Amino acid sequence: MNVNLLPKTPVIKDWLHEATIQLVGVGIGSAKLDAEIILAHTLRKSRTYLHAHGEQQLEPRQYEIASARLDLRLDRTPVAYIIGHKEFYGRLFRVTPATLIPRPESEALITLLKELAPKNLSLPGTPLQKLIDVGTGSGCLGITAKLELPELEVTLLDISRHALSVAERNATDLNAKVDVEQSDLLMKYPLQADFIIANLPYVDSSWERSPETNYEPELALFAPNDGLQLIFKLLRQIPSHLTTNGYVLLEADPRQHAAMIEAAKATGLRYNKTDGFIVAFQKS
């Protein structure tokens, strides 16, 4: 075949323009950004590069891969699953369909943790403080906690072996020294911790939600009892696994916080504060 007869591939700016139109057409609000992320990942370049080289023609293989990834996004596959990672607290975390995709609202948990943690953690002679990340998924919360507060001894727990393998790889990639254990909530954790953090499944299946969540693992997303079953189960386990004056930081929808506060009170936990999706308790 005469190569001159092969269809010509588009230049960068034209591919981005057409991809954005298609994404807008299926109702994706972040269409332009998603198109840029997909093409930048395909070319292994930055988004800034795309804008500076808009007249550069795509190679046939680049065009084929970018278009296949665009098709996935048009089917509402989350961008994070397409490119294999998601930024959280300024760091890139690997994600797979075995893990929930880190959300920006979860970053408030880390900010609140740093506020509540003792200021003298790094001083010689200060007792070692333990933190457990329950239902760790990709490990974004526990690993970030370790990197932001290196003096903490951090353990990542999850019932899913597949999720834990992703968390272990993220810990290795980010040089975070954490322990990883398979456990149904706190069932297999024999110690007491100073901090317990968790972003457990809290979505009720009847809630209106984004089509993208259809691609996320049901085990990490949904819970019965208006989304509160696993949170209530964890709250009942916490008193025997938390030191006196220790803190619990949980993520949930704000409409669930009042019920969580009542349930925590029944276990002897004292409500501390709320920050967006995060609610904090302390053991008296």
Is a pLDDT exceeding 50 seen at residue 3? no
Angle separating helix axes 60-74 and 31-43, nearest 10 degrees: 140
Give the chain's domain count: 2
**111 and 69 in one domain?**
no
User: How large is the average pLDDT for residues 247-262?
Assistant: 97
Question: Residue 4's pLDDT is what?
Answer: 52
Reading phi first (left if > 0) and then psi (alpha if -120 to 50, else beta), residue 142 is in alpha
Q: Which of 116-130, 143-157, 242-256 has the lowest mean pLDDT?
A: 116-130
Those residues with Cβ within 8 angstroms of residue 260's Cβ, 6 or more apart along the chain or in another chain: 228, 231, 235, 250, 252, 279
Going by pLDDT thresholds of 50, 70 and 90, the confidence category of residue 127 is confident
Is a pLDDT exceeding 70 seen at residue 7? no
**179 and 103 in one domain?**
yes
Q: Which residue has the higher pLDDT, 119 or 183?
A: 183
Domain contains 158? yes
CA distance 135 to 99: 10
Going by pLDDT thresholds of 50, 70 and 90, the confidence category of residue 2 is very low
Question: Residue 123's pLDDT is what?
Answer: 60
Domain contains 80? no
**138 and 63 in one domain?**
no
Is a pLDDT exceeding 50 seen at residue 121? yes
Domain contains 140? yes
What is the residue-averaged pLDDT of the chain? Answer: 93
**261 and 147 in one domain?**
yes
**156 and 26 in one domain?**
no
